[in-house]
Amino acid sequence: MGRTREHSAITTEMSRIERMCVERGLKMTGQRRLIARVLSESDDHPDVEELYRRALALDSRVSVATVYRTVRLLEEKGILERRDFGGGRARYDPADRGHHHHLIDVDSGRVIEFSDAAHDAVAREIARRLGYETVQMRLEIFGRRLPESAPAGAKPGRRSV
């Protein structure tokens, strides 16, 4: 069900999330390595249950408790960012994906990443006028597809507007 890029067979190359873990001094057990690889290969924003399903498909020994503990640890270390897109479940976004925003389709749950320099400039200007310097900004738009817009099968991904 999930969208994971083709999983390469055994490889000695570290995934980008594994690298981030090592850089932050985390001990990389076999199951942590597996979870890091699944996260690195994901092109969506999986929740813990989806991560567990994907990891389990690759190693039947992984437990859901291990996935929960690992996700919590990666979040504490700043490797993952928790997102609440509704639906009563936290979803996760690797922290190294750069500055972007999210549009969430309230009917399908689909999440579309996008960048918008004009929005960012307006947000910085509003903060400045109110006497603040922008430290971080995040925009999450919840919407419903207009009937006359592009086909629902359009591929989600990072877009600039």
Complete domains list, the chain, with CATH: 16-95 (1.10.10.10), 100-160 (3.30.1490.190)
In the predicted structure, residue 11 carries a pLDDT above the cut 60: no
pLDDT exceeding 70 applies to what percent of the chain? 81
* Contact between 46 and 60 (Cβ < 8 Å): no
Mean pLDDT of the chain: 79
For residue 125, name the pLDDT band (cuts at 50, 70, 90).
Answer: very high
- This prediction has a pTM of 0.62
Rg (CA), the chain: 18
Average pLDDT over residues 111-137: 90
In the predicted structure, residue 15 carries a pLDDT above the cut 70: yes
| pLDDT given for residue 143 in this prediction | 92
| pLDDT given for residue 5 in this prediction | 44
In the predicted structure, residue 133 carries a pLDDT above the cut 60: yes
| pLDDT given for residue 54 in this prediction | 92
| pLDDT given for residue 40 in this prediction | 81
Helices H, strands E: what count in the chain? Answer: 5, 6
User: Residues near 27 by Cβ (< 8 Å), separated by ≥ 6?
Assistant: none
| pLDDT given for residue 78 in this prediction | 84
